A and B are shown apart, each in its own frame.
Chain A
Amino acid sequence: MTIHQQVDFDDNVSRALNDSQLIKNTKAAMGTLVAKRKAIFPDETEIEQLRTLGNALKQKALSKLPQLLEQLEEKCIQNGIKVHWAETTSEANHQVLDIMRSHGATSLVKGKSMVSEEMELNAFLQKNGIEALETDLGEFIIQLNHEKPTHIIVPAIHKNKDQISKIFHEKIPNTPYTEDVAELTAIARKILRKKFNEAEIGLSGVNFAVAETGTLCLVENEGNGRMCTTVPGVHIALMGLEKVVEKLEDLPPLLRLLTGSATGQLITTYVNMITTARKQGEKDGPKEVHLIILDNGRSQIFADPDRRQTLQCIRCGTCLSHCPVYNRIGGHAYGYTYPGPIGKILNPQVEGLKAAGVLATASSLCNSCEEVCPVKIQIPDLIRRIRNESYSKDPASTMEGHGYKRNLLETLTWKVWEKINTYPVINAVGLKILSVLGIKLPQIGPLKNWTRYRATPELAPKSLHELVKHHGVDHE
C-alpha cells in the first residue's frame, strides 16, 4: 500500500469551486457523456436487464475469485504469458522495472492504465532512469502538463481545446500555436509513431481477463493500445485482481455495458484480445508477454461480504459523469487515483480511512451513481458503511483506520438525537420550548454552515402533533 499523506480535501474543494474554467469544462464534458449514454441505452427495461446481467456476471466471478485467478494463471502460462503476482504497488513497480532491466530497456510506451496510476508507475520509473510515455491522447496531454487524470475514461477532460493548444505549444519543442484539432492530433501522432517504433517495451491495462482461455481483453479508441501491445518486443499487461471473469461468453454483455456506459459507444474502435506472445512462424506481435496481477488491498475488500461488491467495478466512469459533486469539483479535488463516487468507496478501503475517509462525506446520497452503475454496485450503501466505520470502535472491524473520526461532540449529538426521538415527550416539550422561545433555530456550531448560504430555518408555531389534536384526527 502506498502511504499517502492525508489529502486536504476541503482546500482542494474550495480551490476547485473557485476555478470557473474547470467547472465549465467538466460540466460541459460530463453533460455530453451523460447524453451519449442515454442515447445508446434508450430502452429503460433493456438497460435494466443488461445491468442485472452485468451484476450477475461480476458476482459470479467474485464468488469464485481465487479459483478463477488460479485458472487464469494456468491458462496464461500454457499460452506462453508470464504471470507475476504483486501484493503491493511497490512490488508491482519493481516487477515492471525488473522486466525492463532484464531487457536492458530504457523506454516504455504506455496505453491507458488506471492500475499504473494507482502504482504511480511513471514517477517510479523516472526515478530509475526510465522514460515512460503515455500514448493515450488524453494521458499524453496531461503528462505533458505534469498532471494526473481527472476522470477514469477521459483523463484530460478538464482541459478545453484552447488550454490543450497552449500546452502543446509550450511543452513540445518547436511547436507553433494552433487551435486546429486535426493539426493538434497530427502533432501528437507524429511524436507517438516515432516512440512506438523505438520503444523496447509496451505496457497496457486490462479490462477483462478471461480465466477459461487466458485471454486479456483491452478496449480503446485510438489504436494506441494495439500499438503498445503489438509493436514493441515485450508487452507488460497490468491488472487489478478483480478483472478476471469466468468465460469468454461473459464478455459480450460486459463489453456492451462498459463501452455504452463509458462513452456511449456500441463498441470501441479497437477491441484487443490478447492470448499469446508471438508464436513461431508468426510475423508480428511481442515476443514476450507478461501479466502483472495486483492486489493492493483488494483481497481485504474481497474478504468482507458487504464490501466485496466494490470489486465488481469495471471502471467505466459513468458514476463520475452522473455525479453532481464530481461535476462541480472535477477529479483532482479528490486527491486520489479514483475520483467520483467509485473513488469515495474505493480509496478509503485501499488507502485506509484516516487518509481517504473524508471522501465519503462528499456525497448527498442522491443515488445517481447507483442508478447508472452497469454492474449495480450499491455505492450509497457503501458510502454509509464507510461513514459508519469512520466512527466505529468495533474491534471486529476490518477496515483500516476505523474509528479515526470518533469524537465526543458527534457521538453525544447523535445520542441526544436518539433519546429525543425515542421519547416523544421530550421531543414535544423540547419543540414547544424552542418554538415559544424565538422560533428560529440558533445560528451556532454546525448550523453556521447552513446559514452562510441560506436563510435560517423557522420552526412552525404549532407542530403537526398539535394540529392533529386540534383537528380531531384520530391519534390513538
Chain B
Amino acid sequence: MRRYPEKPQKVYYFGTCLVDMMYPEAGMAGIKLIQREGVKVIYPLRQTCCGQPAYNSGFPDEAKTVARKQIELFTENFPIVVPSGSCAGMMRHHYPKLFANDPDSERAINFSKNIYELSEFLVHVLDVKLEDRGDPINVTWHSSCHALREMRTTEDSKLLIRGLKNVNLIELQNETECCGFGGTFAIKQPAISAAMVKDKTDDIRQTGSARFISGDCGCMMNISGALQHDKVQIDGQHLAEFIWERINDNPSTG
C-alpha cells in the first residue's frame, strides 16, 4: 500500500476540466472538506486539464503539451488533491510514462508522486471524522475503473460513505465493471458504450437506491445522462458533494 504523509499545512487542488465545466459544486465541496480540517487549499487558476482525453485517443503529443503546462503550475512540493480517480490516475501513473526520455522527466515523476485522489487523502492523510446530519437514505456506489484499478481508492470512498450513520450503502451488482464511458470510446463505439451503460443503469435501478454516488464525473455524466435519457428518477452525485451535504445543515457550496 501507498505510504501517506503527515497532515500538511497546505495542499494544491486540481479540479479537473469536467468538474470545472459541469460539476463545479462537487469541486468546491472537495475544497471545503479539506479546508474543514484546517488545511489551506491552493487552486492555481491557470490549471486546465490533465491531458487524458488526447492521451487515450492516440494524440500523446498534444496531451504532453497540456500536461507540461499543469506540471509547471504546481511548483511547490505540496500534495496535489484531485476529486477524480481517473484524472488522478493519469497524473500519477501515466505522466512518468508520457515524459519518459524528456528533459522534464524528473519533474513529471516528482509531480506524480504528489498526486492524491480526494477520498484517499481524506481517509489516510486527513483522517476525517464525519458527523451525519441528514435524513436516512439508501444510496449505491459506482466506482470508476481508474479509481478501482489505477488509484485503488475505492475502499476509501466506500469507507467514507459507510461512516455516515444515516446512509445505507447498497452494493452494486457487477460493481467492478466499467460503465462504458471511456472518454472518446463513447463517441467512437457508441453502440458498445450504450450497451455497457444500459447494464450499469439496470444494476443501479436494481438496488432501489434514491441516488448513486461516484468519485468520477466522467462516469457520472455517462450514467446520469443515460438515466435521464430513459426518464429514470435516480440522481448521480459526486462523493465530495454528497458528504458535504450530509455533514452540514446548510450545505450550499455555490
Contacts and interface: CB of A to CB of B under 8 A. Distances in A.
Interface of A: 13-14, 17, 324-325, 328-329, 361-368, 370-371, 381, 384, 386-391, 414-415, 417-418, 420-422, 424, 427, 431, 446-447, 449-450, 452-460, 462-469, 471, 473-476
A391 B191 contact: no
Nearest to A14: B191
A475 B192 contact: no
Contacts of A363: 182, 185
B206 interface: no
B159 interface: no
Q: Which residue among B58, B66, B149, B225 has the maximum number of chain A CB atoms within 10 Å of its CB?
A: B58
Given A454-B197, A460-B22, A418 B62 contact: yes
A381 B96 CA distance: 13
Q: Which residue among B45, B69, B176, B224 has the maximum number of chain A CB atoms within 10 Å of its CB?
A: B45
Nearest to B48: A421
20 contacts: A17-B195, A324-B196, A325-B192, A328-B196, A362-B192, A363-B185, A365-B145, A367-B146, A368-B145, A381-B97, A386-B58, A388-B58, A389-B58, A418-B65, A431-B21, A450-B186, A453-B226, A460-B24, A463-B20, A463-B24
Contact of B21 (A366, A418, A463, A474): A463
A276 B21 CA distance: 68
B19 interface: yes
Which 10 residue pairs of A and B lie closest in terms of their CB atoms, listed nearest first? A364-B182, A454-B225, A387-B58, A455-B228, A366-B178, A449-B190, A464-B24, A366-B145, A453-B194, A421-B48
B44 interface: yes
B235 interface: no
Given A364-B145, A384-B56, A454-B228, A465 B194 contact: no
Interface string B78-111: 0000000000000000000100000000000000
A365 B48 contact: no
A469 B44 CA distance: 11
A427 B224 CA distance: 25
B49 A476 contact: no
Contacts of A420: 48
Interface residues of B, number: 72
A94 B38 CA distance: 75
Contacts of B48: 420-422, 424, 427
Given A364-B180, A431-B20, 10 more contacts: A324-B196, A371-B149, A388-B60, A421-B66, A427-B48, A453-B229, A455-B226, A457-B221, A460-B24, A469-B45
B58 A391 contact: yes
Contacts of B2: none
B150 A462 contact: no
Contacts of A389: 58
A343 to B, nearest CB: 15
A362 B189 CA distance: 6
